[in-house]
């Protein structure tokens, strides 16, 4: 009869498209959350169960399990969140209609049950959710946008180019350096020629190169990292609180500190001994104070980056 044929047709349609109705509603809800709150969607325990674990689904999800609260003091967590947004924004610029959603859950913002269900005891950690099956955990910690973009490409199969936002501080620094160099060359060309052709010029260049390498410039070229990221108060972060990572600005910070120690050592070993009387005492105090203070600051940074670093000098 017609009723039997109609029932069979409905059953065949449901079997052919098991992801209609509720599945489409979840997809629309995720799209709405993305449009309202940004490309990275913040979820809680209830949203995790409804949007990521309820089957069937016609979309895939990459989840960042994180803990950004100031009380926890997790610098890699804040860095990963910042870099994750850069990687995701770049992805959607080139694949705006992809059926992939990027979400984050914070342990201290209604995500404790999610951490428990995922058996996640650390942060930041990335998980990949296919349209069905168990979530796949990324086994190593990644915090740089370049690494996150590579992970997204491997999981989704969609290649894209990472586009970092313009770093105004870096642009200003480069522009200032170029203008300063041009002015020096213009107003003091004769002196510049004499300096460049002097025997000591190569020595100074060698010292500068050594300081650059000691600052971690080669690591930066190989691994890649942002020049800096905002801290909790919106200011600039000068160094990363982990021995496994660093920022671009950290190269210049370490270069400056090592250079200051070098200057102090030269004052103590060369300049002060060749002076006499009051000048000798002043130069000795300046050199000793410079070495002691900068060494203490350098040790302090090492202790921040390596929690078990045992040494300190003055503070």
234 falls in which pLDDT band (50, 70, 90)? Answer: low
Task: Kindly list the distances between the CA atom of residue 216 and the CA atoms of 48, 149, 209, in Å, as whole numbers in the listed order.
Answer: 40, 23, 11
By CB neighbour count within 10 A (0-12 exposed, 13-18 middle, 19+ buried), where does 233 fall? exposed
pLDDT-derived band at 203 (thresholds 50, 70, 90) equals: confident
The answer to whether the beta carbons of residues 141 and 151 sit under 8 Å apart is: no
Q: Parallel, antiparallel, or unpaired: how do β-strands 125-129 and 60-66 relate?
A: antiparallel
pLDDT: is 226 or 300 the higher one?
300
The half-sphere exposure of 233 on its side-chain side, counting CA atoms within 13 A, is 3
100: enclosing H helix or E strand: strand 100-106
Closest by Cα among 222, 229, 145 to 153: 145
Question: Residue 171 pLDDT more than 90?
Answer: no
| pLDDT for the residue 13 | 43
Which of 40, 60, 75, 36 is CA-nearest to residue 246? 75
Q: Is the pLDDT at 154 greater than 90, yes or no?
A: yes
């Amino acid at each position: 009869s017609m009723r039997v044929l109609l029932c069979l047709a409905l059953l065949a349609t449901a079997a052919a498209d098991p992801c209609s109705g509720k599945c489409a509603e979840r997809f629309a809800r995720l799209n709405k959350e993305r449009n309202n709150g940004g490309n990275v969607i913040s979820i809680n325990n209830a949203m995790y169960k409804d949007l990521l674990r309820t089957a069937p689904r016609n979309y895939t999800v990459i989840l960042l399990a994180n803990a950004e609260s100031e009380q926890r003091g997790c610098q890699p967590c804040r860095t990963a969140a910042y870099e994750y947004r850069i990687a995701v924004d770049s992805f959607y610029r080139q694949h705006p209609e992809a059926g992939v959603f990027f979400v984050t859950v914070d342990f201290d913002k209604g995500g404790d049950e999610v951490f428990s269900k995922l058996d996640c005891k650390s942060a930041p950690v990335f998980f990949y959710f296919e349209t069905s099956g168990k979530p796949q955990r990324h086994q190593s910690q990644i915090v740089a946008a370049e690494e996150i973009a590579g992970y997204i490409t491997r999981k989704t199969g969609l290649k894209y180019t990472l586009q970092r936002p313009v770093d105004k501080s870096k642009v200003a620094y480069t522009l200032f350096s170029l203008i300063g160099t041009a002015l020096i060359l213009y107003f003091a060309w004769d002196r510049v020629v004499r300096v460049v052709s002097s025997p000591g010029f190569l020595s100074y260049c060698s010292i500068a190169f050594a300081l650059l390498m000691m600052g971690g410039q080669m690591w930066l070229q190989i691994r890649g990292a942002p020049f800096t990221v905002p801290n909790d108060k919106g200011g600039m972060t000068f160094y990363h609180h982990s021995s496994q990572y660093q920022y671009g600005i950290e190269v210049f910070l370490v270069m400056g500190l090592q250079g200051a120690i070098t200057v102090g050592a030269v004052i103590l070993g060369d300049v002060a001994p060749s002076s006499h009387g009051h000048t000798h005492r002043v130069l000795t105090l300046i050199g000793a104070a410079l070495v002691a203070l900068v060494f203490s600051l350098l040790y302090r940074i090492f202790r921040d980056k390596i929690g078990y670093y045992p040494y300190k000098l003055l503070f």
